[in-house]
Amino acid sequence: MTHAVARQGWGEAQLVPEVERLLRELVAKDDWLPEAFARAHPDFYQQYLLYGDPLDRFSVVSFVWGPGQFTPVHNHTVWGAIGMLRGAELGQAFGIGESGQPPRPLGKEERLEPGMVALVSPSIGDVHQVRNAYPDRVSISVHVYGGNIGRIRRQVFAMGDGAAKDFVSGYSGDRVPNLWAGEGA
């Protein structure tokens, strides 16, 4: 991944297919994720940092979804690849309209099963809501983002009126502190 990101002249159009290929290889087997980065919380989904590029060019995280857990409708502001490692998740893309209008679903909800990869980016659509497909067990996905996702200022969108609210997600757990806590974090 580091070599792919470092290639001169590679923009999103060239890089993301390579990221997708590498992530597909990573999630093809479910025998490598340490337990410390696979722990569910009873109330909130968890985002554990697995690797943060020292130059903030990309980050790799595990998302651990407890039974029935879901995100709000949110954006990323950078490209991303989501690979399903264990269980399944459902993702619904949304369009954001004018102020005062609720987010509108785009297309059908997409189901990711182990080994599958989905892509997001501002150029192809990066506003969505994601949820654990199972009401009774944990699901885990691995995400690669085009930046340090734990410190990027992003937005969540209210379902009622579409109001955008800024947030910075940070990371879960105590194994890897946010070493990049800088301006805006």
The pLDDT assigned to 173 comes to: 82
pLDDT in tens, 43-59: 999 999 999 998 889 99
Q: What are residue 167's DSSP bridge partners?
A: 154
Residues 57/110, Cβ–Cβ less than 8 Å: no
Grade residue 184 by pLDDT with cuts at 50, 70 and 90: very low
Statement: residue 177 has pLDDT above 70: no
Average pLDDT, the chain: 91
- CA end-to-end span of the chain: 25
Q: What are residue 143's DSSP bridge partners?
A: 61, 82
How much is the average pLDDT of 93-102? 89
Domain annotation for the chain: domains and CATH numbers: 2-28+41-167 (2.60.120.10)
The pLDDT assigned to 78 comes to: 95
Residues 29/83, Cβ–Cβ less than 8 Å: no
Global pTM exceeds 0.85:
yes
- Residues 101-106: contacts with CB under 8 Å, at least 24 apart: 101/161, 101/162, 102/158, 102/159, 102/160, 102/161, 102/162, 103/73, 103/127, 103/157, 103/159, 103/162
